[in-house]
Structure 1
Amino acid sequence: MKALDDLLVLDLGQIYNGPYCSLMLAFQGATVIKIEPPNGENLRVRRKGDCHEFLMLNSNKRGLTLNLKSEKGKNIFIDLVKKADVLVENFSLGAMDRLGLGYEKLKEINPRLIYASGKGYGSYGLYAERPAMDLTVQAISGVMATTGFPDHPPVKAGPAICDFLGGIHLFGGIMTALYQRNRTGLGQLVEVSMHDAVYPTLASALGAYYSKGEKVSERTGNQHSGMATAPYNVYPTKDGHVAILCVADRQWYSLLEVMGRQDLMDNEKYNSNVNRSKHTLEVDEIVMGWTLSLSKERISSLLKQANVPHAPVNTIAEVAEDPHLIERGMIREVVHPVKGKIRVPGSPIRLSNSELDKVVAAPTLGQHSKDVLNELLSIDEETIEELEKEGAIGEATKEWI
């Protein structure tokens, strides 16, 4: 038995936010129906053919195309809502209401429905009407202000952190609402704002702001955001870079042993984290003087033995072949009907009694439309063909099936 194998999820998610949320539901056994417009969702057509990002975020889902702007397409969707446990959407504010498919409408049709809505800035507030993408939320939330070096312009974080933080919080909200439904028998609206979700991640920068005001630069490069830990930086090596930090004083003394700098053991400037943080630049010079003479592999080997927090700075190519991720099943190889063998993510959520035993490639456009409509709504093949001709559903791409 999988944890969620009795749940039916309607997935209207697009790009990263909604699809990641529904991917987590699918990995735990829920039947997730990915519903796309006849031409496909935005991420599918970002590049020619299904782009790899789409394939990464839509494994273990069934694909259905529906034209929600057509009366018959909308009626099919409503019939599916009657049977569904969860609906996931991350359209722009008001889009579902304009289609006549907002929460107030759908809860009348199915009072047990968990209606999960991912938004950039939420359904209310000063920013609610703003168009939102990961970059814009990074800009307005302070992420960009705190990323980069003090003598350079603000920089976005490389990963799409706002999209994915919003998506995983939405997953958490759904699971919480399902737990409450077990007691009340009623569904509810679950809303997560990407902007809200990213705010707590600024803990170090906000801690510095509240403690020291403008005395600490917003952007501190690879040093601690609040300049409250030293050493804490990325240091050059003979063949790349390595990240090293010492949260506890004992780790600093272990690092001194490895570096052969026992002469600094009794130096009052460095005998506590508070004192080291006052001399961060000096500490960095000491550490860098050692790292420059060694390879990042050698440094990692020495610091692992000494139990000092560290990691080599891996390239994307190295991450793509990371043996640890492969062993843990986070990098999965699946067979796609068009792309052949591809690599996609597994689940970072592990349940001992609900193992992720199989990952299936993302559906091609409309791949399961006929099966879904027949199995869930008992619509026969002749009627499905008529719906295709009328544009209520999209025609599945034949060569992909």
Structure 2
Amino acid sequence: MGKPLEGVKILDLGQIYNAPYCTLLLGYLGAEVIKLEPVNGGELLRKRSGNEGAQFPFLMLNNNKKCITLNLKHEKGKKLFFELVKQVDVVIENFSTGVMDRLGFSYEKLQSLNPSIIYASGTGFGSTGPYKDLPAMDLTIQALSGIMSITGFDDKPPVKTGPAMADFFGGIHLFGGVMTALFKKAKTGMGDRVEVSMFDAVYPSLASSLGYYFGHKEQPPRTGNRHGGLAEAPYNVYPTLDGHIAIFCVNDKHWANLMNVMDLIELIDDPRYSTIPERVKRIDELDRMISDWTSKFNKKDLFQLLNKNNVPSASVQDLDDIHKDEHYRATKMINEIDHPVHGKIIVPGTPIKLQSHDDFEIQPAPQLGEHNWEIYHQMVGITANEFKSLMELQVI
């Protein structure tokens, strides 16, 4: 049996995290992903490689792709691009709003060349609405979407999340949009225009805080590591001898289990703590009591003890812990591969698991222009002399 997306051809104009993560997932599922980059230096993330370690995000997000270079502003480059469009199923990009139109690559133009084309755009704010022309970076999305207003501690300024969640939420939803369009194309033969904005994609993640806002008719406070809607207690990160551990009780059974482990069984039915609303009223007191107890343990020993007694918890792992994590390696989410330039590197697998395809091969991220001859010769039909001439003109 072939791979799920075998035979699907993707022309990937993505840069940084958003669209490249979408196309990484498509590549892992068997699509032929052709990454198109500028002639001089490649896409923005590749250009960061001058700083130590900065090359690894590019190497993580561009596995299982082929790479070509093309000057999209040169007339010969535009013609080559149009020839490629005729041969592929999907064009994916995450340029600023209007860039593709200004280059002459609107959906209508590409559809006239390939009526069944799927044209997918990852944007910051979408192509309509008052924000459509604003700079779209992960930080600006987090600020305008309300994420920063609820992140951090109430007595400190708002902060962004550590991960680039807007970029990756957008990339995941873009993947879903492309897959939906491919499903439609398989049934009807018709392509579509797919657009996903990061601003839209992150809004549902505010669910807990929105619950507080609608319930209390006021802005929720920044709650640090407590529940975003202050609807559960205990729910926090507590100190240990060698770090921290997260503990949370989402129902009364979890509370009873925790009190048993802490040898405080008299508090299980104490009316001051026996229900979630009463525990929330005494959240500061609970956190002090639990902190005093957790500070006597090593985090991993305590995690094992709590897990054994069915108390939801997790030791707070740092990046060193994560890359030794047995579970990530067992699920093939963390993989060590050999890269022809960088040697042994760690790259992510795919979170999407299919029982019929429980194994996948990881091809290292390509070098800039590595597949120029293969793609332009096989898909467009240019000759060796034409290829040489296009190289000299810096079209490819």
**C-alpha distance in 2, partners of 1:283/1:230?**
8
**C-alpha distance in 2, partners of 1:333/1:292?**
35
Aligned residue identity for 1:20 = Y
Q: Does 1:21 align with 2:25?
A: no
**C-alpha distance in 2, partners of 1:216/1:91?**
34
Q: Is the 8 A contact 1:255 1:303 kept in 2?
A: yes
Q: Is the 8 A contact 1:63 1:363 kept in 2?
A: yes
> How far does residue 274 in structure 1 lie from its aligned partner after superposition?
2.0
Q: Does 1:193 align with 2:197?
A: yes
**C-alpha distance in 2, partners of 1:8/1:47?**
28
**Equivalent in 96, 100, 110 of residue 100 of structure 2:** 96
Aligned residue identity for 2:88 = A
Q: Is the 8 A contact 1:347 1:356 kept in 2?
A: no
- Corresponding residue of 1:142: 146
**C-alpha distance in 2, partners of 1:250/1:14?**
47
**C-alpha distance in 1, partners of 2:75/2:338?**
36
What are the within-5 Å matches in structure 2 for residues 53-92 of structure 1?
53-92=57-96
Which ranges of 4 or more aligned residues in structure 1 deviate by more than 6 Å? none
What are the within-5 Å matches in structure 2 for residues 104-143 of structure 1?
104-143=108-147
**C-alpha distance in 1, partners of 2:383/2:254?**
68
**C-alpha distance in 2, partners of 1:100/1:196?**
27
CA distances 1:191-241 after superposition (whole Å, capped 9, x unpaired): 000000000000011110000123741x10000011001110000011100
Q: Does 1:41 align with 2:59?
A: no
- Corresponding residue of 1:8: 9
- Corresponding residue of 1:287: 290
Q: Does 1:309 align with 2:312?
A: yes
CA distances 1:95-150 after superposition (whole Å, capped 9, x unpaired): 00010011111011111111110000000011001011001100110111111000
Q: Does 1:272 align with 2:275?
A: yes
**C-alpha distance in 2, partners of 1:370/1:47?**
25
- SS of 1:277 mapped into structure 2: helix
Q: Is the 8 A contact 1:27 1:356 kept in 2?
A: no
Q: 5+ unaligned residues in a row in structure 1: which ranges? A: 394-401
**C-alpha distance in 2, partners of 1:199/1:81?**
33
**C-alpha distance in 2, partners of 1:165/1:216?**
23
**C-alpha distance in 1, partners of 2:323/2:75?**
45
Q: Is the 8 A contact 1:2 1:355 kept in 2?
A: no
TM-score of the superposed pair, with normalisation by structure 2: 0.97
Aligned residue identity for 1:62 = K
- SS of 2:272 mapped into structure 1: helix
> How far does residue 386 in structure 1 lie from its aligned partner after superposition?
0.8
**Equivalent in 193, 211, 215 of residue 211 of structure 1:** 215
- SS of 2:225 mapped into structure 1: coil
**C-alpha distance in 1, partners of 2:218/2:285?**
22
**C-alpha distance in 1, partners of 2:359/2:130?**
41
> How far does residue 380 in structure 1 lie from its aligned partner after superposition?
2.2
Aligned residue identity for 2:131 = Y
Q: How many residue pairs get matched? A: 392
**Equivalent in 313, 327, 336 of residue 333 of structure 1:** 336
**Equivalent in 340, 349, 354 of residue 346 of structure 1:** 349
RMSD: 1.2
Residues 134 and 216 of structure 1: CA distance in aligned 2, closer, same or farther (over 3 Å): closer
Aligned residue identity for 2:96 = S
Aligned residue identity for 1:44 = R
After the TM superposition, which of the residue ranges 174-183 and 46-55 deviates more from structure 2? 46-55
Aligned residue identity for 1:17 = N
> How far does residue 184 in structure 1 lie from its aligned partner after superposition?
2.2
CA distances 1:260-319 after superposition (whole Å, capped 9, x unpaired): 111212211111112211221122122112101111112111111011111001111211
Q: Does 1:379 align with 2:382?
A: yes
- SS of 1:171 mapped into structure 2: helix
- SS of 1:227 mapped into structure 2: coil
Q: Is the 8 A contact 1:332 1:345 kept in 2?
A: yes
- SS of 1:224 mapped into structure 2: coil
> How far does residue 67 in structure 1 lie from its aligned partner after superposition?
0.5
After the TM superposition, which of the residue ranges 101-110 and 90-99 deviates more from structure 2? 101-110
Percentage of matched positions with identical amino acids: 51
> How far does residue 182 in structure 1 lie from its aligned partner after superposition?
2.1
Q: 5+ unaligned residues in a row in structure 2: which ranges? A: none
- Corresponding residue of 2:327: 324
> How far does residue 77 in structure 1 lie from its aligned partner after superposition?
1.0
**C-alpha distance in 2, partners of 1:190/1:235?**
44
> How far does residue 336 in structure 1 lie from its aligned partner after superposition?
1.4
